[in-house]
Chain A
Amino acid sequence: MTQAATLRDRAGTFGLSTEEFDLLVTRIGREPNALEAAIVGAMWSEHCGYKNSRPLFRHFPTTGPQVLQGPGENAGVVDIGDGWGVAFKMESHNHPSAVEPVQGAATGVGGILRDIFAMGARPFAVLDSLRFGNPDSPRTRFLLNGVVEGIAHYGNAIGVPTVGGEVTFHPSYQENPLVNVMALGLLRHEDLAKGTMGEVGNTIVYVGSKTGRDGLGGAVFASADLSNASQADRPAVQVGDPFMEKLLLEATLEAIQAGVVAGVQDMGAAGLVSSTCEMAYRAGLGITMDLDLVPTREDGMVPMELCLSESQERMILVPVPGKEQDLLDLLAKWELDVVTIGQVEGHTNYRLTWRGEVVCDLPVDLLNEAPKYTREGIESDEIRAKRERDLSGVPVPGDLGAVLTDLLSHPTIASKRPIYQRFDHQVMTNTVVVPGAADAAVMRVKGSGMGVAATSDCNPRFVYLDPYAGAAAAVAEAARNLACVGATPLAITDNLNFGNPHRPEVYYQLERAVHGIADACRHLNTPVTGGNVSLYNQYTEGDERVAIHPTPTIGMVGVLPDVTKRATLDLKGEGHTLYLIGEHADTIGASQYLETVHGLEAGHVPALDLTREQAVIDATLHLIRAGLTDTAHDCAEGGLAVALAEMAIAGHTGLSVTLNAPAETRPDALLYGEAHARILIATPDDAGTEAALTAQGVPFTRLGTSGGDTVTIALPDHHIHLSVTLSALTHAFTTPLAEILG
């Protein structure tokens, strides 16, 4: 058996199909060696090469006057005015967190922060979108505690506040939790850095931690299904050191601001190879690196390990020609390992030497241009049947007040305080709106009057039942959440978490979701500036393949031109008038209520009208900026009644409202339906608010007033009057997460 035949047979271990291996042989006109095959496998993995998802990305709107940097760099950047930009991106660390939650989550934070400061931006906020399985299971407790500890360990130590996110629970994530981390960084326009090798003759500088054997093959690991054998992949999970990252962060930013850096990139998935390959590709040049110079943590490391290790806290810097020594001196102040390991060449190959021999010599283009697969998506019959199910036979519960406390105590809806109080959410002294206080986090920008708002959103049940509408709804919800704090939505990053795309029903979800995001972003003028794809989120046990609910998490950033003009969700006092901007819900389809109370994931996702959505957003922003309200809250899981209860609980003030609707509308839909384009506000100025909303041309309804010590909701046309004490609601809302955390 020849070596090539052996390698071809082993292509799968490098993450390549035999067709891909044959394509590689054809492209380079020779047989690759094992190192080359492994490097190609890593670069063509979904995690690095986006081979299944990139063909879909062309649908995304990616430009706009607010976009300083679109997709293709370490992170996107938006202009917020006054010469300031915000770099932001979201990334998943799902598979590492499934096998080692503490380090999996910690290194997720570390990785995304490096992407941000590689842009020349100082990280100033982190949000976490976390999804777990059954809240009562020991595995969920183990994973939740581990993930929270990992985020706290890393984020608190490095000193970047964790300001928001989501934590939800659904059985589809039982074995495969989702850990999506979003980070934001602030920069002056002139400090915007790029991940490029620059020009011929530039040197390539390695800085940060030494290279060890941890995280070997992480990109390939992240691009395969999880199984029981995944526990044996624990060495594929990296170990993070926030102290080292803090030094790296300060050193990198200092170097960029000193003007001695021509190019910079983090060594993330597929380590040294992917960072240097991508930088060479952007420059359109080849490079040569000497692997003998890579600082190592242990003896006897071979090229495969040196190239593909995912040891954390490592960066590649390319000095400005003539400033090499300045850069090395500056890095020395931070006591970091710094080595010049190669240079930029006039050729177009990616060339590595080890012990005096060339061990890899492949075209840079080949490595960066993974084959693209456009697959055929077919909707699952089972899911279509669930969506088309007739819900008219679902009974209306006799005690609709009990439903309210049941929903408030569902771990997906309940207060996340026991989690976020373990995160430092105030370090850097910019956090104006803290976790739990509103629908999005708000950070002030020191030295300006502005604020930056951020949110992460997705309702996977919507996406499961209707990938197009559900994904579009995630964008709409994110925009609505920003409006509820007084921020103009600017742009998104997305984290596409799906199952195995080789399955037609999964590819269908991915394809439809991408179209939904694209159309909503186009409509709401929030271009896509980057993102991350996590496929193969399914668990194989015996013959059964359990895919996660499709979860395209949307991270959205917005700007408050004047940070003092903002809103939070808590009622601010008694006697204020409550209004609903938008219209009442008329369906229980796809709702949390239907799932929690009736055990059904079924029905159509509420209809999405993006023109109406924009009108509701504009009206809310107008009221906040005109000083007519400082209380606003979106209606999401649990609908209007849950949103009202949350406002009352947060404000320590009861309320009394009346919902007028035709008797044929289901009362449970009015209370707990999840229609879009609805925002609740409270105001002491009825006349001014009504005049403003009328002028805005948006439908609105006066619901009632704040005050008292109950949440009382009357549906006169249905002869329903429910009233629950604030203390009972508060108890239901505040206790569940502490119990799950243990």
Chain B
Amino acid sequence: MKTAVIQFPGSNCDGDALHAAQLLLDQDAQFVWHTEAGLPQGTELVFLPGGFSYGDHLRSGAIAARSPIMQAVKAHAERGGFVLGVCNGFQVLTESGLLPGALSRNRDLHFLCRPVHLRVENAGTAFTGAYTKGQVIEVPIAHGEGNYYADPETVARLEGNGQVVFRYTDNPNGSLNDIAGIINERGNVLGMMPHPERAVEALLGSEDGRGLFDSLVRAQAPA
């Protein structure tokens, strides 16, 4: 699956995203700098990595969401191309309107880095087909602003449509409905706070994030 990892100034999981993508999706996965106007020809997956794009100035993800490359990412999503936003990448997706809601400061106001357990709520998506519904996986979090919020109608719609893909079993940050990851209605844009790219090698303690990449390999881009 031809993969482009977007680099914003201040991205810091860009290398991790590229490493996981090269390992599991596309050995020729490449970085794309935020000032580019377009994605490489034939890009199937856009990976928005974690980090502190633009130093979190204004709001996490707010400035990155308005950088030149995001026009191309939006067009890619409109064409049905896959977009995966992890951590700061999720924040960029909500700031750019590709996903609903917002991520605010963690409940206890501190950055938190530790493994968490996630329940796979919807195994019918292109990102989760390799998991089974209800499966509990261990994936690390590392964020200070992962507290998911959306208005009640939006949350109800997300829940009703099965758009809540991952849920914390033990909510670390105060997210509404224990939401850890959501997908858009069309099923091609996924945002999540936990880091699946940090959980793809046994050497580093967990391989539970592999399923997400394996799912993408199996998936066909929706028409």
Chain A contact residues, CB within 8 Å of chain B: 152, 156-159, 241-244, 246-247, 334-335, 420-432, 434, 444, 446, 563-564
Contacts and interface: CB of A to CB of B under 8 A. Distances in A.
B51 A424 contact: no
A446 B16 CA distance: 11
27 contacts: A156-B142, A157-B55, A158-B12, A159-B13, A241-B55, A242-B52, A242-B55, A243-B10, A244-B55, A246-B9, A246-B12, A247-B9, A247-B10, A334-B9, A422-B112, A422-B113, A424-B113, A426-B142, A426-B195, A426-B198, A427-B12, A427-B142, A429-B20, A429-B201, A429-B204, A446-B19, A564-B203
Nearest to A432: B203
Interface in B173-191: none
Contacts, number: 82
B203 A159 contact: no
A424 B204 contact: no
B11 to A, nearest CB: 8
Interface string B128-161: 0000000000001010100000000000000000
A434 B51 CA distance: 20
Contact of A425 (B51, B52, B113, B203): B113
Interface in B35-86: 50-52, 54-57
B15 interface: yes
Given A157-B52, A426-B198, A152 B111 contact: yes
Contacts of B111: 152, 156, 422-424
Given A421-B114, A422-B110, A429-B198, 14 more contacts: A152-B110, A156-B142, A159-B13, A242-B52, A242-B55, A247-B9, A247-B10, A422-B111, A426-B142, A428-B16, A429-B15, A429-B19, A434-B205, A444-B203
B197 interface: yes
Interface of B: 9-10, 12-13, 15-16, 19-20, 50-52, 54-57, 110-114, 140, 142, 144, 195, 197-198, 201, 203-205
A430 B204 CA distance: 7
B119 to A, nearest CB: 22
A353 to B, nearest CB: 34
Nearest to B35: A333
Contact of A159 (B12, B19, B195, B197): B12
A156 B88 CA distance: 12
A434 B50 CA distance: 20
Contacts of B205: 434
A652 B54 CA distance: 42
Contacts of B55: 157, 241-244, 246
A431 B204 contact: yes
Contacts of A564: 203
A422 B110 CA distance: 7
A37 to B, nearest CB: 38
A28 to B, nearest CB: 45
B142 A424 contact: yes
A674 B98 CA distance: 59
Nearest to A435: B113
A608 B148 CA distance: 55
A177 B223 CA distance: 61
Contacts of B201: 429
Contacts of B9: 243, 246-247, 334-335
Contacts of A243: 9-10, 52, 54-57
B140 to A, nearest CB: 6
